[in-house]
Amino acid sequence: MDNNQPLLKVENLQVSYRSGKSYNNVVKGVSFDLGRERLGIVGESGSGKSTIGRALLKLLPTAKIEADRMDFSGTDLLAASERQMLTIRGRRISMILQDPKFSLNPVHPVGDQIAEAYRVHYSASAAVAKQKTLDMLEAVQIRDPERVYGLYPHEVSGGMGQRIMIAMMLIPEPQIIIADEPTSALDVTVRMQVLNILNELVTNKGIGLIMISHDLNLVRNFCDRVLVMRHGEVVEERAARDMKNCTHPYTKGLLAAQPHIGGNRQPLPVLNRQPQALSPQETSV
Ligand SMILES: Nc1ncnc2c1ncn2[C@@H]1O[C@H](COP(=O)(O)OP(=O)(O)OP(=O)(O)O)[C@@H](O)[C@H]1O
Ligand SMILES: [Mg+2]
């Protein structure tokens, strides 16, 4: 495949959740491309970030997903059957979720679960899958892979659990990783390790990474490009290094609200509530 072609092209994505007899539109015409880069999606809680991630994998059974285009490396995701999606989900596009405790099966050793994630997609012997798993555990900086392989999910710490999840998502070698708040449950040291792992995948393996977070500071320091979302819409799209030149009042408000270590200790500003920064519902009240 041409390395300069975007991996993903999304145009005018709309997602609505069914509520009773009507639909509640929570993603309202979002468009973006993803190359072999780190794309950040930031925005307040409820702005639709996770919904976009799940819509790309069509993991929203109760929602209506519409778009002018939702292409992944030449595959039309909107038209793809559930059977086709099974060959894409996990194998070619994978999603790292916030809380590993919900995603790991409590009654199986973590190593077996990672090996299984490999064998679902590749026909490999148990011995080969185990070796791959041990290599992968090492790659996510788990010091004692043999021992950790046999642990149950309740026996691993939060940070280790997160790295185990990452190993599980990475073992099929996906081309796109959607990381939904992958580090918000982690302490600073483990967070840096996880970010380093993700960073290496983009730089060395040429994957595309979508990093979803409410932490603008994290995203602008880590990503190449940032989409700022509000009420289901992208209100600003910018190169991360150019974030200081943002123009939308909401983004400006977010940036101004970032605390600076060593800066003067003024109270944090209140977000700008002028009409441009508000949703239609808010302006009508
Ligand atoms: N399964 C669902 N059924 C109905 N409504 C949903 C569902 N999932 C999310 N929503 C609603 O859709 C909107 C967007 O939710 P989403 O989870 O995408 O937000 P988010 O930006 O990821 O927020 P957070 O930062 O809190 O994770 C919210 O108003 C939420 O209540
Ligand atoms: Mg979310």
pLDDT in tens, 213-232: 988 888 999 999 999 999 99
Which protein residue's CA is at the shortest distance from atom 24 of ligand 1? 45
Of 3.30.70.260, 3.40.250.10, 3.30.56.10, 3.40.50.300, the CATH number of 1-92+176-184+197-247 is 3.40.50.300
Say if ligand 1 is within 6 A of residue 17 CB.
Answer: yes
- Is the CB of residue 250 less than 8 Å from the CB of residue 216? no
Say if ligand 1 is within 6 A of residue 206 CB.
Answer: no
Which protein residue's CA is at the shortest distance from atom 9 of ligand 1? 51
Q: Given ligand 1 and candidates 26, 95, 210, 250, which is best to mutate, with the most ligand atoms within 8 Å of its CB?
A: 26
Q: Say how far apart CA 170 and CA 189 lie, in whole Å.
A: 21
DSSP structure class, residue 254: H
Average pLDDT over residues 269-280: 62
DSSP structure class, residue 181: S
Q: What is the dihedral of CA 172, 177, 181, 182, to 10 degrees?
A: 40
**Domain segments of the chain: what residues?**
1-92+176-184+197-247, 98-173
Task: Measure 49 CA to ligand 2 centroid, in angstroms.
Answer: 6
The confidence band for 276, taking pLDDT boundaries of 50, 70 and 90, is low
- Counting ligands in written order, the one closest to the CA of 24 is 1
pLDDT in tens, 9-61: 999 999 999 988 899 999 999 999 999 999 999 998 999 999 999 999 999 98
Of residues 243 and 188, the one with the higher pLDDT is 243
Say if ligand 1 is within 6 A of residue 58 CB.
Answer: no
Q: Given ligand 1 and candidates 19, 23, 47, 216, which is best to mutate, with the most ligand atoms within 8 Å of its CB?
A: 47
Average pLDDT over residues 182-210: 86
Which protein residue's CA is at the shortest distance from atom 28 of ligand 1? 46
The confidence band for 154, taking pLDDT boundaries of 50, 70 and 90, is very high
Of residues 278 and 233, the one with the higher pLDDT is 233
Q: Which atom of ligand 1 is nearest to the CA of 43?
A: 21
Q: Tell me the whole-structure pTM to 2 decimals.
A: 0.87
Please provide the DSSP assignment of 113-152 as one string. Answer: HHHHHHHHHS---HHHHHHHHHHHHHHTT-S-HHHHHT--
pLDDT in tens, 127-143: 999 999 999 999 888 99
- Is the CB of residue 222 less than 8 Å from the CB of residue 199? yes
Q: Does position 107 have pLDDT exceeding 60, yes or no?
A: yes
